[in-house]
């Protein structure tokens, strides 16, 4: 082979390698891991250097936090508080409680982290579903309300009969921690799927937005997609957990703290988009209780979240910021955009 031909071959090989590199750059192989925690299947997917180790440490961190926040694990801090009326807290549980109490106040009590006795009465804690009567609920409601929870010097105190249920905020708090852990490990692109809590680190590895599906609360498909990066997307819906009685009436797992009965605000699902996983998680539950008019009032008073609300009658209500990033699956969907 002549010198010239060898040189041309080398250039061709180099160009070929470059083309491969460019193509692979867009379809980088991710590190991913799925596991069962906090009553749901979680999947962590991360790209780039250090991703594999970071994904492994996400799993251990979730299990560690579950061991603190779980209401059923006999070793947890929440279990200790619920059974003894007080408990010394780790920094993580104290912060989750403090932030959750702030959200209770922000939502005027629509978010209430003391509803465990109510959840138990309806059978949501053990799957033995039943419909409690008005008298039973009235009695139980005497012991609920966030004002009954005291945090002092790293300990929590609960009056007799009051029990914590952090199911509405624990996953959002956990997702924020995991995103921080991934960023600290140098991961710039990751998707955390903690059940209905999605948390995104950066963009997709090719620099484009992630497309996150918003589930159709009335069927198996999806109602639309959101183009987002570096944020949390959290959905709460009556369709996620519910039971049906002999007459075909359904009862969902999100309770109205005023009545002790499943929320009935006219919404079928609520998706909140924002920087904080905890805020989005707490608000998705609270807004499901509050209903659209109160939720829009709250949205107009703040700038840190956007919403996709799907009403029981099928209407999709988007806040102005959500309208910019939402694409409906059905082009004939009834959509209303709320302005500030």
Q: Which two tokens stand for residue 37?
A: 């925690």
* Rounded CA separation 272/279 (Å): 9
The distance of Cα 65 from the centroid of its chain, to the nearest Å, equals 15
* Rounded CA separation 82/241 (Å): 24
Contact letters (x/-) for ligand AMP, 35-64, by CB under 6 A?
Answer: ------------------------------
Among 81, 198, 254, 316, binds ligand AMP (CB under 6 A): 254
* Rounded CA separation 43/14 (Å): 37
Q: Which two tokens stand for residue 266?
A: 């006219």
Residue 281 interacts with ligand AMP (CB under 6 A): yes or no: yes
101-120 binders of ligand AMP (CB under 6 A):
111-113, 115, 119
Q: Contact 62/55 with Cβ under 8 angstroms?
A: no
* Rounded CA separation 235/215 (Å): 9
Owner of token pair 């819906």: 237
DSSP label of 141 = H
Closest distance of CB 165 from ligand AMP, Å: 5
Number of residues that bind Mg ion (CB under 5 A): 4
The interface region with Mg ion, picked from 110-118, 128-136, 156-164, 281-289 by CB under 5 A, is 281-289
Q: Which of 38, 100, 115 is nearest to 73 (CA)?
A: 38
Closest distance of CB 157 from ligand AMP, Å: 19
Residue number with CB closer to Mg ion (48 or 237): 237
Q: Contact 306/272 with Cβ under 8 angstroms?
A: yes
Closest distance of CB 117 from ligand AMP, Å: 12
Instruction: Identify the bridge partners of residue 261 per DSSP, sorted by sequence position.
Output: 256
Residue 168 interacts with Mg ion (CB under 5 A): yes or no: yes
Partner that binds at residue 289, options Mg ion, ligand AMP, none, CB closer than 5 to 8 Å by kind: ligand AMP
Partner that binds at residue 177, options Mg ion, ligand AMP, none, CB closer than 5 to 8 Å by kind: none
Residues near Mg ion, by CB under 5 A: 168, 281, 284-285
Residues near ligand AMP, by CB under 6 A: 111-113, 115, 119, 165, 167-168, 236, 253-255, 257, 281, 284-285, 289
């Amino acid at each position: 082979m002549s010198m010239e031909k060898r040189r041309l071959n080398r250039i061709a090989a180099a160009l070929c390698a470059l083309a491969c590199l460019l193509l692979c750059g867009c379809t980088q192989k991710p590190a991913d891991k799925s596991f069962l925690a906090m009553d749901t299947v979680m999947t962590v997917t991360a790209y780039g250097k250090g991703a594999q180790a970071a994904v492994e440490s996400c799993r251990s961190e979730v299990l560690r936090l579950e061991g603190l926040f779980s209401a059923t694990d006999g070793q947890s801090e929440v279990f200790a508080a619920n059974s003894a009326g007080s408990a010394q807290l780790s920094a993580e549980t104290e912060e989750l409680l403090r932030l959750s109490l702030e959200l209770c106040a922000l939502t005027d009590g629509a978010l209430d982290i003391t509803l465990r006795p109510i959840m138990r009465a309806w059978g949501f804690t053990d799957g033995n579903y039943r419909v409690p009567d008005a008298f039973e609920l009235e009695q139980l409601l005497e012991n609920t309300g966030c004002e009954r929870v005291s945090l002092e010097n790293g300990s929590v105190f609960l009056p007799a009969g009051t029990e914590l249920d952090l199911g509405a905020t624990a996953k959002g708090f956990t997702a924020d921690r995991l995103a921080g852990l991934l960023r600290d490990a140098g991961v710039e692109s990751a998707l955390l799927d903690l059940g209905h809590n999605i948390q995104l680190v950066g963009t997709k590895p090719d620099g484009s937005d992630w497309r996150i599906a918003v589930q159709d609360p009335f069927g198996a498909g999806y109602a639309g997609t959101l183009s987002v990066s570096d944020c949390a997307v959290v959905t709460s819906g009556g369709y996620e957990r519910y039971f049906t009685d002999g007459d075909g009436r359904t009862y969902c797992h999100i309770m109205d703290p005023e009545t002790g009965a499943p929320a009935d605000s006219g919404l079928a699902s609520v998706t909140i988009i924002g920087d904080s996983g905890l805020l989005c998680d707490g608000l998705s539950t609270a807004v499901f209780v509050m209903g659209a008019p109160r939720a829009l009032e709250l949205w107009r008073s703040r700038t840190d979240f956007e919403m996709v609300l799907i009403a029981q009658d099928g209407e999709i209500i988007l806040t102005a910021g959500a309208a910019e990033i939402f694409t409906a699956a059905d082009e004939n969907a009834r959509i209303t955009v709320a302005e500030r």
